[in-house]
Amino acid sequence: MPELPEVETVRLGLAPVLTGAVIARVEVNRPNLRFPFPEGFARRLTGQTIISLARRAKYLLADLSSGEVLAMHLGMTGRFTIHAPDSGPAQASRIAASPGAFYYNKVLSPQGAAAPSPHDHVLLHLASGATIVYNDARRFGFMELVDRAGLDSHPLFRNIGVEPLGNALGGGLLRQLFAGKAAPLKAALLDQRLIAGLGNIYVSEALHRAGLSPWRKAGTLDEVEAERLAGAIRDVLTEAVAAGGSTLKDFHHADGALGYFQHAFRVYDRAGAPCPAPGCNGVIARAVQSGRSTFWCESCQR
């Protein structure tokens, strides 16, 4: 399942096209994804201006001029593709200078129609001439329309924890969140009620950078360890976003291109390899922890 960096990468790819755009027409090709679409889904989107495109945890949030927010979750295989008409050198120059620029490589045919797929479930036709296609082979993603004023109290969002790339995450907050917890450190970091958007890959990577065992009791971190872990989380996520996320099985960018952070993994999916930590002679181990693969170095992660 895409983690925070993958979702942020998709946001960066979509934002230059969606921000300020008017949704001229909506095609919905089935009644449901993981859940049924909201009542009047296409009608409520048609004619709306997308004020901004944000991310909360693993959700994309399109703020609409109607006062509603289109909340989108990619599930396991969901992906957005930009089909943009050829708009000449000036537009190409603007795109090339914008965040997520390398996600633009899908162009409409001269007739203005995107190549169809049986898994293209939602198409947003913009007044600009661009079309945003949501494709989801396994249909674990979903879309919801939420009143902007009630977003924080909505069941999807009211129990989501702090954003790990925001200014709030620091050693002091980690110690506060983990106080008294006997759960393993990795399990605590994956608890979306505490920290939003962290997943199996990046938790494993952050723990290795911080020199902390995934089996360590979360409530035992001292001040220095907690600060080191907070810094490692931010660094790993920031580097992963810059690399376009990680490509494992089904994740692709808005143009179908692959992410590259998997080439920088230090421990994830590297069982049996030498530990890359300077001065460490250990070997990366793998075990199943809470039903998920955990990778760590028994020598330098304490």
Distance CA 103, CA 60 (A): 17
Phi then psi dihedrals of residue 112, to 5 deg: 85, 20
> What pLDDT shows up at residue 79?
85
179-212 confidence digits (pLDDT tens)? 999 999 999 999 999 999 998 989 999 999 999 9
97-136 confidence digits (pLDDT tens)? 333 433 333 333 334 444 578 899 999 999 999 999 998 9
Q: Is 282:297 a contact under the CB 8 Å cutoff? A: yes
Choosing among 3.20.190.10, 3.30.70.890, 3.30.420.270, 3.30.2310.20, the CATH entry for 4-150 is 3.20.190.10
Choosing among 1.10.8.50, 1.10.260.40, 3.40.50.720, 3.40.109.10, the CATH entry for 171-297 is 1.10.8.50
Q: What three-state secondary structure class fits 231?
A: helix
The pair of three-digit structure tokens given for residue 269, joined into one six-digit string: 């999916």
Distance CA 185, CA 214 (A): 5
71-91 confidence digits (pLDDT tens)? 999 998 888 888 876 544 434
Extents of the domains making up the chain: 4-150, 171-297
Residues classed as catalytic: 2-3, 58, 292
Q: What three-state secondary structure class fits 186?
A: helix
135-165 confidence digits (pLDDT tens)? 898 999 999 999 999 999 999 999 999 999 9
What percent of the residues of the chain are helix, what percent strand, and what percent coil, each to the nearest 5? 30, 25, 45
The pair of three-digit structure tokens given for residue 287, joined into one six-digit string: 């075990």
Q: Is the pTM of this model over 0.75?
A: yes
Q: Is 186 marked within a binding site?
A: no
252-277 confidence digits (pLDDT tens)? 334 444 343 444 689 998 999 999 99
The pair of three-digit structure tokens given for residue 209, joined into one six-digit string: 């950078």
Exposure on the CB side of residue 128, measured as CA atoms within 13 A: 21
Same fold, 4-150 and 171-297: no
Q: Is 80:133 a contact under the CB 8 Å cutoff? A: yes
Q: Is 119 marked within a binding site?
A: yes
> What pLDDT shows up at residue 194?
97
**Pick from 176, 204, 179: nearest CA to 189:** 204
Q: Is 181 marked within a binding site?
A: yes
Distance CA 101, CA 95 (A): 6
Give the containing element (helix H, strand E) for 82.
Answer: strand 79-83
